[in-house]
Amino acid sequence: MDPEKFRERCKGVLTLVPTAFKKNYELDLESLREHVRYLVENRVTAVIPAGSTGEFSSMSEEEIKKVISATVDEVNGKTMVVAGTAHSGTHETIKLTKYAEDVGCDAAMIVTPYYFKEVEEGIFQHYKMIADSVDIAIMPYNNPWVTSGVIYSYRLVERFAKEIPNITALKDVTGNSAYVLELLRRVGKKIAILPYAETEHTMLCYLLGCPGTISLLSNIAPKESIELWKAAYLEKDAKKAMEILDKFEGFNRLMNRLIMEKGIPAYLHLIKHALTLLGRPCGLPMRPPAQPLRENEVEELRQALVRMGLM
């Protein structure tokens, strides 16, 4: 897909897809396909396999390729596919991104190099070398929580917009509404700024002009996630959006608490347990070293799902 066309289509809910594993931790591609069908049927804007939610860091290159190709095959052009192609090194990231383009992905989502903390010029050159190697859109992933505290400076994002034509979207996980507003002001006409998750911050970003979100909850509540986007982005109805968000409050509160207690992977624990509780594919298990929730945490999650009207 042409990168500019991709930017124009980044409106709505772009869903991070968990990877399905069997009890022996081998890939379960049939369950993955079933879940992708469910997301497509519920009209999400895009599916995103092999991202952090897809546990890419616990998979081999060959497994990542299998997940990406199975997703593209199952989608069959019915919605966009944005492949997670991140690696700690530029060379390996280029190889995966080329593969994603070759099998038909519309774009690639790539987190900042996440082992060594690189200087700004190194980050810029990382993305430029990747972008120069393919024709599809590139979506940098601004996540300080998994990249040694790296946050893209305004200058860096402006360079993306001016010097790398196929960077036409950006996933932002800072949770800083003032920062997002400034990004919109500086580059919003060239790069779709996409916040993460279904939260008050995301609602505000919709109201400010962010066209979509990189979504977790749409794995279990796609209808409600899309309704939130319509209320806040299309209708600019903050009251209606807050009423929808209220359904998510228990889940978000539990997620925030567990992240503070256990670290960032807690969000993945929650969504996989939720899928299992709802009898859906792509739930448990997670690959080690990820550990399951405790019994009391599972009960809190169950109550949150009841509040969302899912159980």
Q: Residue 251: name the closest of 296, 198, 311 by CA.
A: 198
The predicted pLDDT at position 158 comes to 99
Please check whether residue 133 lies inside any domain of the structure.
yes
Please check whether residue 235 lies inside any domain of the structure.
no
Please check whether residue 135 lies inside any domain of the structure.
yes
Beta-strand ranges (E) seen in the chain are 12-16, 46-48, 80-84, 107-111, 137-142, 169-172, 192-195, 212-215
The predicted pLDDT at position 148 comes to 67
The predicted pLDDT at position 163 comes to 99
- Threshold 0.95, pTM exceeds: yes
Structural domain including 155 reads: 3-222
Please check whether residue 267 lies inside any domain of the structure.
no
Please check whether residue 196 lies inside any domain of the structure.
yes
Please check whether residue 306 lies inside any domain of the structure.
no
**Angle 238-262/222-229 helices, nearest 10 degrees?**
120
- CATH number for the domain spanning 86: value is 3.20.20.70
* Cis previous bond, 289, omega within 30: yes
Phi first, then psi: give them for residue 28, nearest 5 degrees: -120, 80
- Structure tokens that stand for 296 in this block: 């009391």
Task: Report d(CA 90, CA 96) in Å as an integer.
Answer: 10
Q: What's the length of the chain?
A: 311
Name the region of 184 (left: φ>0; alpha: ψ -120 to 50; beta: rest): alpha
Q: Residue 114 carries which side chain, given as an amino acid letter?
A: Y
The predicted pLDDT at position 117 comes to 76
Torsional sign, CA 14, 118, 257, 297: positive
The SS3 of residue 44 is coil
- Of the candidates 99, 114, 141, 267, the residue annotated as catalytic is 141
Task: Reply yes or no on whether 171 is catalytic.
Answer: yes
Please check whether residue 232 lies inside any domain of the structure.
no
- Of the candidates 65, 66, 171, 272, the residue annotated as catalytic is 171
pLDDT tens for the chain, 311 residues long, are: 999 999 999 999 999 999 999 999 999 999 999 999 999 999 999 999 999 999 999 999 999 999 999 999 999 999 999 999 999 899 999 999 999 999 999 999 999 988 777 899 999 999 999 999 999 999 999 988 776 678 999 999 999 999 999 999 999 999 999 999 999 999 999 999 999 999 999 999 999 999 999 999 999 999 999 999 999 999 999 999 999 999 999 999 999 999 989 887 889 999 999 999 999 999 999 999 988 899 999 999 999 999 999 99
Task: Report d(CA 200, CA 237) in Å as an integer.
Answer: 13
Residue by residue, DSSP assigns 249-309 as HHHHHHHHHHHHHH-TTHHHHHHHHHHHHTT-SS-SPPPTT--PPPHHHHHHHHHHHHHTT
* Structural domain total, the chain: 1
Please check whether residue 259 lies inside any domain of the structure.
no
